[in-house]
Structure 1
Amino acid sequence: MFDFIRTHQRLMQLILLILVVPSFVFLGISGYSFVTADPALVEIGRAAVSRDEFVQAQRNQLQQMQESSQGRFDPALLDNPQARQALLDQLVDRKLQIAVATENHFSVSDGALRRAIAAMPQLQVDGQFSPDRYHEVLASYGLTPRDFEAGQRAELALDRVLGPVRDTAGLPAPVLDGLKRALTEERTIRLRVFKAEDHAKDVQVSDQDIQAWYDGHQDALRLPEQVSADYLVLDEAAALASVPAIEEAQLKDYYEQNKARYVVPARVSVSHILIKLPAGASDEVAKTALAKAEDIVARVRAEPSGFAELARKESQDAGTARDGGRLGWIQRGTLPLAMEQAVFALKQGEVSEPVKGPDGYHIFMADEVQPEQGESFEQARAKVEDEVRRQLAADRYADMATKLTSLVYDNPSSLEPAAKELGLQVRQAGGIARDRLLSADEAGPGAASASGDSAILGDVRVRQALFSAQVFTDKQNSGVIEISPDTMAVVRVREATPAHVPPLDQVRDHIRAQLTGERARAAAVAEGEKTLAELRAQPSAEGFGEPATVSRLDPAGLSKDVLDAAFAVEADKTLPAFGGVALAHAYAIVQVDKVQPGTTDAPALDGLGQQMARVWGGVEQQAVLAELRQQLGVKVTDEGRRLIEQGDGGSN
């Protein structure tokens, strides 16, 4: 059952949505007007979005994010006014659709329901709806067809509110054609860049400037609550270090068992001539065949270069005769013993005596001989030891992981017992906030962001553990945190530092660099804008780079800001024409030398109409929802505003 659920996760999510969200869609308007102590966040006519509904939706949202990211999703990304507003808007939009569907008695026929269910790929076998698969899916999740079909009917009915808007949206042909022309228009441009770094040497920043900036940017300088942590890391390196010395005999045994990995066995590229001997042949027939084979040997030895031609004429092995008797490369173990011994006794260019095989007499010629090649045990010893050590370390890692879990649980207030027992080192790092690792400038010496373990300490699960009640408040060890299949960590808080503004001396260099960068950029912008005005009055190619042809589809490596500036230049002016744009650390002047239409049937534009129709449909749906908000009188309550701004703790 669980394998089935894992294989059909998308369908399971759909089923959950159908069961959890719309199961009470058609209870009627009265279903939303009962009195409850749960405060309303948004009033929608006689309905409302309650606090409990929002909190549950928020939990579901977080759970889905955590599951899709395998626990690596940072909850802090949802803990902000923008995320809370977006979620509340989704709940309001759904309530609006429910209200419209209920008021207008929207319903779905049995035929439409059957067609919709039959079209679900997860319920099909070889492209056809399968009743057996249908019942298997529902049974695996504990559903009856009645429950599933009721939920699906409700979803289809809801889709009647906005579906017609979405499905009938289309971009007018003139608009689409204009869009294609704009995307493919080509401009030949040159750039002239004024860099801030070229002005930095001329910037003067006084102590008074630094103090004034410090006093005026307290909020920007404020560091969040942070912790310094003690932690243990169990990884491959730790497991390797715990492996004891390996005995020489063990290494030699491993070498012999895996010799093929270190040694290429001897092989011979060989050709042959076969004189067949029928099964049960008489002595007279055998003597005749042997005599013929011996005659061939004598002829070949007299003229070795004629072996291939003689094989074509005399060999009775039709499969190789036409190729001059070539068998190719032969390794030991591929031929009967007598034939193998004869072949591997030959030197390059030598011809064997007739060798009796299962099907007759063979005359072999060694075309090329390669002796055994590779490393002896002594030569491969270091490699062998490394491989053996890694295999032992893999077993050791599993054992250490089990012990680490037990030791951390048995000694919740210290990492030392686990470190001592497993031969690990208790490491320390600071500057770990709930949402990030502070930079070395912010955290000072020992910053986690500057350590070799920054990837481990920056993992969202590690930060969540450090700020959990067990670790942060109770000062206990965290549980074992699996960072990856071969790395796990345990953390504890050594010291907590509340949010604060660092002293001026700690951030003086940062402020100086900030002011220097700002003033250098301002100087670059001023120089660029002055030059741009001069160029518009008196065009000149001095200082510009090589020409490049760009379009909105093919920016040729230009940043969006520069590309926008290039296409903002009015094309109907006398060329060359000029435009400019201030960048993060520079000012760029764009000289437009040529403007020409592009190819509007470019493959990159395939499907643009459908894409824009979907976008257009989405915009129209939002317009309909906005109108419904007006008609139904959507009102955000004071409780709703507090929750959006402050989160779940905004009200109790």
Structure 2
Amino acid sequence: MLQTIREKLTGWFDIFILGAIALTLVISFGNIDTGFSGGAVAASVNGEEIAVREFRQLYQRQRQQWEASYRTQMPEVLAAEMGNSVIQSLVRNRVVAQYVRDEGYRINDDDVIASITGLEAFKVGGRFSKPAYEQLLQSQGLNRQRFEYEQRQSMQMSQFAEGLANTAFYTPAEFRRYIELDGESRDLEYVVLNAADWSKDVVVSEDEIQQYYDANPLSYQSEESVSLVYVEIDYASIVNNVAMGDEEAQSYFDKNPDEFRGPDERHARHILVPFSEDEAAAAELAESLRQRLLAGESFTELAAQYSADSGTAGSGGDLGWLGSGDAPAGEFEDALFVLAENEISPSIRTEYGFHLIRLDGLREGDVLDFAKVKAQLLTRLRDDAAADVYGELLDELDELALESLDGLAPVAEAMGLELGQIDSFTRSGGLPLGYSPLLVDTVFSFEVLEDGENSPVIDLDEGRAVVVQVTEYRPAAVKPFAAVRDEILARITGDEAVLRAADSGNQLVVKLNAGGNPDALLKPLALAWNRPEGVRRGSPDIAADLAAEVFRAPRPEMLEGGDMGKGYQGLLLASGDYAVFRVVAVHPGQPELYTQEDRDLRKGQLASRLGGGQATAVVEALVAESDVRVTPGLIGNQSDLF
């Protein structure tokens, strides 16, 4: 089956992909259970092991993504929580994988092929490229069998989730209610008390500033930092200086004609014997026909008499010229592509019946014209040459940096490269090198920081690498009071202003709900009411947290006899300002105003929402029923994992 997939994943014959792909495309595969565990065990699920290697790979990838996003090292508490999350994710995936396998979920080869060939990471010029596919898998440490296995299993798990979504049940009344909520709008009146308006009345003494500074030393600590020098190898600058002429391209083209040739085609004939009601009898008939063919009887006559393929029986079973992917079934193609000319295959079973196949001819694919491929070929050859130079320079840089006892200056001089310098590099990185977990870990490692050694080569990103040398280390220290006094003053003033604005807002809410005149109460504040109508969920016209609270507020008709008076409420916004608001009217969504297309879309959304809840419940139930064992000490405290 996997052989069928590999043969079908041929694609068109691109000639410009090999040089640049590895340096320009990055793909990442999810944490699908692969079935290829080995080494130490992180956990077991119903007796099936999850390798520590699998756990570490996913954990490290997620941690690196977090640290790259926030440009700082992950706190240990959060790192432990992430470890818990990763192992739980791996366990749940394994549980679902076991379930879909045991329940007989199936994905056919054609669907797997369509999924893989549709992935953008494997496309060059908008079309699937088999060399790009193989090269990218190799760069990720995967082989085709493993990735195809993963892809099939991922699709099976998606089939399981989609099946629950598609079977989610809801009544017409529930759908109408969903539409009413989806299309609901509200009229309101609100006012925002800007905290900054209260800051001018805040008076902060020098003693208060000093006390705050003394009580919060860690808040005003300088970052641990270093000064460093570095030598960089940049692929982009190399490729720009590589010269490649038409002669080199023509020479390569002439020496490697098969790279610029289309797929071979095979002229085939077949006789199809259908299963009918007795498969054994069909197999026996197919074998008897094969023996007659081997004895010399006419293929065309037997095809006309016995073949169930009405489209070809009249022409002696002639299928014409077939390329890769053109055969009626994968098993058929596998058999055809190993036949010698005029050879007759054994009986081949497919979903249609039993086939007897004869190869009548073989022709090579057409060769591309050099003029059509020259530009792409020049690019590829230049990229290949640059990649070779890049690799050689990295090896040289690594060796010279290791051998140099006088820092990086002699290394830069020997290689004819610039010695770069960064005055302040912290655990959040520093320009122009930027941030990466590997870079930060290396700079602040014992060998580089304490022993003053030159670092090994550090990959920053695709096509860019450096070695570094720390020239000065500055530990974290509390900043002098004078340097942070104004910052503390602004902090105390801002916090007090927020409290005063909120206090004024709370008093306003009390007076409004007691029956005070809304406009009159705002006059002393020099503010006016905003009275928008028809506000929808997620409206960009008001603050997001205020919009969310507006739709959580009770309807006006629910306030009668309650303890909310006129229905005014207060909300401290994320900005530090304070909002006072009241819902004036609620307008339910009207199903009759929705087009059929909109209704179908909302039905899908509702089914997906209900199905998602069902899927979560099913997975949790499967986990609860499974024998899950996590290796002690893997991620610290695991008592609440499962």
Q: TM-score, normalised by structure 1?
A: 0.52
What CA distance in whole angstroms lies between the structure 2 residues aligned with 1:232 and 1:144? 35
Q: Corresponding residue for 2:570?
A: 580
* Distance (Å, rounded) in 1 between the aligned partners of 2:612 and 2:194: 42
* Distance across 2 between alignment mates of 1:424 and 1:11: 29
Q: 1:429 aligns with which of 405, 423, 426?
A: 423
Q: Residue in 1 aligned with 2:92? A: 93
Partner residue in 1 for 2:551: 567
Across the aligned residues of Structure 1 and Structure 2, the Cα RMSD in angstroms comes to: 5.6
Task: Determine the C-alpha separation between the residues in 2 that align with 1:518 and 1:72.
Answer: 29
* Distance (Å, rounded) in 1 between the aligned partners of 2:168 and 2:233: 57
Matches within 5 A, 1:418-497: 427-430=421-424, 432-434=425-427, 436=428, 453=431, 456-457=433-434, 463=440, 466-467=443-444, 471-476=448-453, 491-497=468-474
Q: Offset of 1:562 from its aligned partner?
A: 1.5
Q: CA deviation at 1:631?
A: 1.9
Indicate the percent of aligned positions where both proteins have the same amino acid.
21
Report if aligned partners of 1:189, 1:547 keep a CA contact under 8 Å in 2: yes
2:300 alignment counterpart: none
Q: Distance in 1 between matches of 2:218 and 2:26?
A: 47
* Structure 2 equivalent of residue 22 of structure 1: 35
Q: How does 1:195-234 map to 2 (within 5 A)?
A: 195-210=194-209, 212-214=211-213, 216-217=215-216, 220=219, 225-230=224-229
Once residues 536 and 224 of structure 1 are traced to their aligned partners in structure 2, the CA distance between those partners, rounded to angstroms, is 50
Aligned pairs (5 A) from 1:340-489: 410=400, 413-414=406-407, 416=409, 427-430=421-424, 432-434=425-427, 436=428, 453=431, 456-457=433-434, 463=440, 466-467=443-444, 471-476=448-453
Name the CA shift for 1:467/1:45 in 2 (closer, same or farther; >3 Å). Answer: same
- Matched residue count: 436
Q: Which residue of 1 aligns with 2:55?
A: 54
For the Cα contact (< 8 Å) 2:31–2:58, is it kept in 1?
A: no
Shift of 1:524: 0.7
> Does the Cα contact within 8 Å between 1:565 and 1:590 map onto a contact in 2?
no
The answer on whether the counterparts of 1:182 and 1:552 sit within 8 Å (CA) in structure 2 is no
Q: Is the Cα–Cα contact under 8 Å of residues 168 and 607 in structure 2 kept in the other structure?
A: yes
Whether 2:636 is the aligned partner of 1:642: answer: yes
Provide closer, same or farther for how the CA distance between residues 100 and 461 of structure 1 changes in structure 2, counting only shifts above 3 A.
Answer: closer
Distance 1:565 1:149 in 2: 47
Change (3 A) 1:72 1:564: closer
| CA distance, structure 2, for counterparts of residue 564 and residue 147 of structure 1 | 46
Q: Is residue 196–residue 497 contact of structure 2 (8 Å, CA) maintained in 1?
A: yes
User: CA offsets per residue over residues 165-220 of structure 1, 9 Å max, x none?
Assistant: 34423555444433332333233334322222222233233455445544554565
- Name the CA distance, whole Å, in 1 between partners of 2:631 and 2:609: 32
- Structure 2 match to 1:3: 17
Q: Which has the larger displacement, 202-211 or 620-629?
A: 202-211
Q: Determine whether 1:539 maps to 2:517.
A: yes
Distance 1:209 1:190 in 2: 39
TM-score, normalised on structure 2? 0.52
CA deviations 1:568-622 (Å, max 9, x no partner) are 4433248985332112321112244444345552888872432343343333222
Mapped partners of 2:503, 2:143: distance in 1: 72
SS state of the match for residue 494, structure 1?
A: strand
The CA distance in 2 between the partners of 1:466 and 1:426, in whole Å, is 15
- Aligned partners of 2:112 and 2:152 also within 8 Å: no
Judged with a 3 Å threshold, the aligned counterparts in structure 2 of structure 1 residues 521 and 409 are, in CA distance, closer, same or farther, namely farther
Q: Distance in 2 between matches of 1:641 and 1:460?
A: 20
**Aligned residues of 2:458 and 2:465 also touching (Cα < 8 A):** yes
**1:543-577 per-position Cα deviation (integer Å, ceiling 9, x unaligned):** 22443335334614312112123334433248985
Q: Quick check: 1:621 aligned with 2:615?
A: yes
Secondary structure in structure 1 of the residue aligned to 2:539: coil
| Deviation string, structure 1 residues 250-297 (Cα, Å, up to 9, x no partner) | xxxxxxxxxxxxxxxxxxxxxxxxxxxxxxxxxxxxxxxxxxxxxxxx
Counterpart CA distance in 1 for 2:462 and 2:144 is 40
With over 3 angstroms needed to count, the CA separation of the structure-2 counterparts of 1:629 and 1:118, relative to structure 1, is closer
Match of 2:190 in 1: 191
User: Secondary structure at the residue paired with 1:55?
Assistant: helix
1:587 maps to a residue whose letter is Y
Tell me if the contact between 1:457 and 1:463 (Cα under 8 Å) persists in the aligned partners: no
SS in 2 for 1:229: strand
- CA distance in structure 2 between the aligned counterparts of 1:639 and 1:120, rounded to whole angstroms: 39
Which consecutive unaligned segments of at least 5 residues does structure 1 have?
25-31, 125-132, 239-398, 438-447, 646-652
1:297-348 Cα deviation digits (max 9, x unpaired):
xxxxxxxxxxxxxxxxxxxxxxxxxxxxxxxxxxxxxxxxxxxxxxxxxxxx
C-alpha contact 2:226 2:470 (8 A) present in aligned 1:
yes
CA drift at 1:54:
1.6
Change (3 A) 1:522 1:423: same
Task: Give distance in 2, aligned partners of 1:520 and 1:565.
Answer: 23
Residues 375-400 of structure 1 deviation map (CA, whole Å, 9 limit, x = unaligned): xxxxxxxxxxxxxxxxxxxxxxxx9x
In 2, Cα distance between the equivalents of 1:496 and 1:418? 22
Residue type at the aligned position of 2:55: F
Report if aligned partners of 1:223, 1:499 keep a CA contact under 8 Å in 2: yes
* Alpha-carbon separation, structure 2, partners of 1:529 and 1:609: 42
Flag the structure with larger Rg. 1
* Contact map agreement 1:195 1:587 (CA 8 A) in 2: yes
2-structure distance, mates of 1:10, 1:410: 30
Equivalent-residue separation in structure 2 for 1:134 and 1:489 (angstroms): 32
Asked whether 1:589 is paired with 2:580, we answer yes
Point out where structure 2 has 5 or more consecutive residues left out of the alignment: 1-13, 120-127, 238-388, 560-564
Encode CA deviations 1:532-553: one digit per residue, 9 max, x unaligned.
2112221323422443335334
How far apart, CA to CA, are the structure 2 residues paired with 1:510 and 1:144?
56
1:640 offset after TM fit, Å? 3.5
Deviation per residue, 1:13-58 (Å, 9 max, x gap)? 77x988x81357xxxxxxx9xxx8x4x6556454554544422443
